[in-house]
Structure 1
Amino acid sequence: MVKVTARLITEQGWQAVTMSRLAAELNVSRQTVYNEVGAKPQLAEAVVLAELDRFLTVVTAAFDEHPDDVLKAINAAVRGVLELAQDNALLHAVVSATHGANTELLPLLTTHTDGLLDAAKTVVSRSLKTYELSLKPKELGIAVDLIVRHVLSHVMQPSNEPKKTADAVTWAAAKLLA
């Protein structure tokens, strides 16, 4: 259901997604769609969370690939996330939604980010705990918060190519984690 919804969003925008349309695409009844996901705001949340999972999988893989070098892991994670964002049709459809458009997706990414931030910070914190860092838990929490928020801002509004941004974030992370 989420994949079909994502396709509809990228092809026609969130405003074109209705429960009836989704039901027709899936060859099920409209009631089945409501039973599975609830109302349209819950569908929006499910789409955003599924996409977040794709990004966090990239982060986890980067840390797994560099178990002995935290800065290489951070660089690979940031670069991977930014490269995924760069070519992400769903993200572009949400971010470039017409000003004033009726969308529940953009607020989930911008103003209601607590769930997104918490999930991202949890994954990064868990990954960083496998390295020997000299930071106290509170300090590590601050560093993770700064890094995650900074990367999220570049996901939403890139200012440079992924490699250069990843290098800049890695430099900052080295200062924060020292």
Structure 2
Amino acid sequence: MTVPSAASTAPVAIRDRVLDAAESVLTQQGWGAVTMARMAAAAGVSRQTVYNEIGTKNDLAEAMILRELDRFLAGVVRSFDENPDDLIGAIRDSVRRVLKYAENNALLHAVVSATHGADTELLPLLTTHSESLIAGARLVLGERVAAYGLGLERSRLDAVIDMVVRVVLSHVMQPSASPAETADDIAWVAEHVLSRDSAATA
């Protein structure tokens, strides 16, 4: 998944420097302390260059969030690649990997603080982009799950994938157990739902 912005063809080094600087300021001082001029200084470029590479401050927030989503989804892809013949094992391992990565993720903690009202400027942006984040996760998971040839109707498979994505995201935002325990629980639910639907369509 790529960040949908006009800067997608820009030099990677400059773009990443700006995003790294923004993430550092956000996690340490809050979204209100993130300014385009400050990001330009931290990246060693002009403010106009930051606008050319990233866009507006809203675009900067979106780019940061989507870059982090790409990192989460890279773990999902790796889990499925490592379990080509075991769908439930792939789901279990991908959930565990995502939740483990989320445990000490400073950017995620800043986002969670925003959802709890600590950063009123960032919260509306997160709300606006929440559906695109879910859609991106569903797309990647859907492509992987489809390769296992379950024989389910597409609408049923999409419903299962949507359930898994939303449950995992809820645990990312507010964990209730260890990553391994939660992964076992979600995999158990997915296995029973998929086996029941597969039997019904057989």
The farther-off stretch of 7-16 and 52-61 is: 7-16
Match of 1:64 in 2: 81
The structure-2 alpha-carbon separation of the partners of 1:87 and 1:19, relative to structure 1 and needing over 3 Å to count, comes to same
CA distance in 1, matches of 2:43, 2:109: 24
The partner residue of 1:99 within 89, 92, 117 is 117
Query: Quick one: structure 1 residues 107 and 158, their matched pair in 2 at CA, closer, same or farther if it must change by over 3 Å?
Result: farther
Equivalent residue number for residue 18 of structure 1 = 35
Matched, 1:168 2:148: no
* Counterparts of residues 150-169 of structure 1 (less than 5 Å): 150-169=167-186
- 1:7 & 1:50 partners in 2: Cα distance? 14
Distance in 2, Cα, partners of 1:166 & 1:109: 25
Select 2:49's aligned residue among 28, 32, 53. Answer: 32
Q: Which amino acid aligns with 1:103?
A: E
SS in 1 for 2:129: coil
Looking at both structures, which has the greater relative contact order when contacts are Cα pairs under 8 Å and sequence separation is at least 6?
1
Unmatched 5+ residue regions in structure 1?
none
TM norm structure 2: 0.83
Offset, 1:177: 1.2
Q: Runs of 4 or more off by more than 2 Å in structure 1? A: 97-104, 106-112
8 A Cα contact 1:121 1:144, kept in partner = yes
How many residue pairs get matched? 177
Distance in 2 separating the partners of 1:31 and 1:79? 41
Q: Please tell me the root mean square deviation across aligned C-alpha atoms, in Å.
A: 1.5
List runs of 5+ in structure 2 lacking aligned partners: 1-17, 196-202
Identity level (%): 51
Q: State the TM-score, normalizing by the size of structure 1.
A: 0.94
Partner of 2:9: none
Task: Name the amino acid aligned to 1:67.
Answer: P
